[in-house]
């Protein structure tokens, strides 16, 4: 008797898209100077760490309940950020200090803010309704946001 094997592919349940956008009130470095993310428009020239300047192609706005992470002023370097700021847990931070060396053995690293939480300098906050802005370019870039470096959305 022959045994017949049937392969089935079971789709994994879809995870809710985790928002890694820029929180409302965050200032972004543009060619016209620092500007609140709420005032950005597609076509604007944004200053980036990796390419000098990039054209903002699209902005997606979402309002949802998020438990943000507060980053204390000066905790990611001298005057970085220059004031306490809030980021989403999935915000990709570009770090260039002892943390990159300690965690990855490299001089720089891109890492989700949630992985850097220490309870003092990077501390989780209570969930709240927040508006976030996802900035899309032709490719992913490192942006200057409130004095810290963070990755834009991946294309």
- The model's pLDDT over 77-109, given as tens digits with 9 standing for 90+, comes to 777 898 999 999 999 999 988 888 888 899 999
**Is residue 11 very low, low, confident or very high in pLDDT (cuts 50, 70, 90)?**
very low
Contact 149, 140 (CB under 8 A): no
φ/ψ of 71, rounded to 5, equals -105, 120
Average confidence (pLDDT) over 57-63 = 95
Averaged over 114-138, what is the pLDDT?
Answer: 95
């Amino acid at each position: 008797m022959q045994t017949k094997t049937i392969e089935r592919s079971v789709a994994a349940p879809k995870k809710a898209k985790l928002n890694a956008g820029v929180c409302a009130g965050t200032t972004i470095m543009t060619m016209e100077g620092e500007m609140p993310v709420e005032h950005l428009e597609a076509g604007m020239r944004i200053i980036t760490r990796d390419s000098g300047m990039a054209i903002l192609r699209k902005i997606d706005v979402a309002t949802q309940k998020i438990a943000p992470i507060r980053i204390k002023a000066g905790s990611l370097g001298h005057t970085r950020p220059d004031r306490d700021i809030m980021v989403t847990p999935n915000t990709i931070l570009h770090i260039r200090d002892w943390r990159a060396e300690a965690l990855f053995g490299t001089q720089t690293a891109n890492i989700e803010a949630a992985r850097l939480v220490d309870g003092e300098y990077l501390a989780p906050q209570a969930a709240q309704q927040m508006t976030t802005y996802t900035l899309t370019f032709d490719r992913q870039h490192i942006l200057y946001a409130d004095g810290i470096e963070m990755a834009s959305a991946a294309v």
